Amino acid sequence: MKAKKRILVVDDSPFMRKLIVKSLESRASMEVIGVARDGNEAIEKIKELHPDAVTLDIQMPKMDGLTALKIIMRECPLPVVIVSSLSQEQADITLECLETGAVDFILKPSDDILMSRQDQMKELALKVFSACNIDVSHFKKNESPSSVSPKLYTKPVAPLYKKESVSIGSSFEKIVVIGISTGGPKNLLDVVPELPGYLNAYMFVIQHMPEFFTKSFADRLNHLSKIQVKETEDGEMIRKGVVYIARGGFHTKVLEMSNKKYYVKHVDNSRENNLYVPSVDVTIESIAPIFRSRAIGVLMTGMGRDGVDGLKSIKGFLGQTIAESKETAVIYGMPGVAVEEGCADFILPSYRIAEKIVELVDGTT
C-alpha cells in the first residue's frame, strides 16, 4: 500500500482551513499533517513536518503568501499550490507567485465561480495531489534569462490587415496555437518573450485560467515581450504579429469572414460542455479546417489531454505540431499524451520552442 501524500494547509481563515482539509482528506491518497495561520508559521511547520506539498493562501497577517513563498523556494523548496480569490488584485499576485515557483493555483470556493461547490472541492484535491508529484527543481534548473532578469520592450505596431496580403493569397497565411496548463505561466516565459517583435502569422495561447487571470497574464507577458500580447475580445478582427491570450471563462474560436479576414468568437461552455475553459481543443478545431496545412499546433506542460485531439486535427490537414519535452514540462500530461499518440512532429524543451515556431512560420524547416 502506497504511503499517503502529506499536506500542510496554510490559511488565516478557520472556515477555509476546515473546508480545504475536508476536501483533501476526502481522497484516501492524502492526509493533512498540519495547518498554519500565516507565512511565518508555515515556514516553521514546513521545516518541522517536511510535507509533500503545501496549499498557501495569499492574504494573511504577519507574513503574506508571496513573501512566504519566496522564502520557501529559497530555503526549503517543495510543491506549493496557491489558494486565490477571483479578483483582479489577487490575479496579479497569483501570477507573480507562479513565476516565483508555485506549481499551480486553485480558487477559493465561491458562488461567483461557475462550478458547484462539490466540483470546486474535487478540483482542489486533484490539483494538490498532482502537485505532490512535481519536481520543483525544474523551476530553478530551467530558469531562463527572461525569467531571471526580464527586459521591457517597446512594441512594434502590428500592421493592420493590408489588401496586398490578400492579393498574394490567404493560402500563405499561417496560424500558431499554443495550448498549456499547469506550469504555463513559468514555462511560457521561455517562449513568448523570445519571439521577435513581429511574427508573420496569427498566434493564440490557450492557457487554462479563469476570468481576470488571463487579462493579468496577457499584460505581464506584454511587458516582458518584444511582440505585442493581449487578451482576446469577442468579435475583434485578428492581426498577424500579435499574440492573443484566450480570455478565461469562455472558449475562444476563430471564424472566417467572406473576405478572408478572421475574427474571435467567445463561446459559453454550456454550448461545448468541456472540462477545461478555455479549451485548447475547441480553439484548434475551429482553426484547423480554415488554415489546414498552414496551422501550427503546440502543446506544453499540463494535466490531462486537452489539445491532443486538436493536434490530430492539424495533422489530418497536414499541418505541423510541437510537443514540449519531458525535460522541461512541469507536468508531462498534455504533451506526453500527444507524443504517445503519435501526433507530435517535434518534441522540444520549452527554451527551444520559440525558435522552432519562427522556423515553421518562415518556412525554413
Nearest-angstrom CA–CA distance, 50 and 95: 25
Catalytic residue among 181, 216, 286, 325: 181
What is the spatial distance between Cα 309 and Cα 316, in angstroms, rounded to a whole number? 10
Rounded-to-integer distance, Cα 216 and Cα 231, Å: 9
Question: b/e map of 140-150 (b: 16 or more CB within 10 Å)?
Answer: eebebebbeeb
Dihedrals φ, ψ of 251, to 5°? -90, 150
* Residue 251 among the catalytic residues: no
Beta bridge partners of 298: 178, 322
What is the number of helices (H) and of strands (E) in the chain?
14, 14
Query: How many whole angstroms separate alpha carbon 94 and alpha carbon 338?
Result: 29
- The verdict on whether 208 is a catalytic residue reads yes
User: Of the residues 12, 281, 306, 345, which is catalytic?
Assistant: 306
Active site residue 362: no
Which of 147, 208, 251, 279 is an active site residue? 208
Nearest to residue 193, comparing CAs of 329, 360, 354? Answer: 354
Asked if residue 104 lies in contact with residue 82, where contact means CB atoms within 8 angstroms, the answer is yes
Residue holding cell 517562449? 191
Q: 125 is written with which cell numbers?
A: 484535491
Question: What is the number of other CB atoms lying within 10 angstroms of the CB of residue 125?
Answer: 21
Catalytic center residues: 181, 208, 306
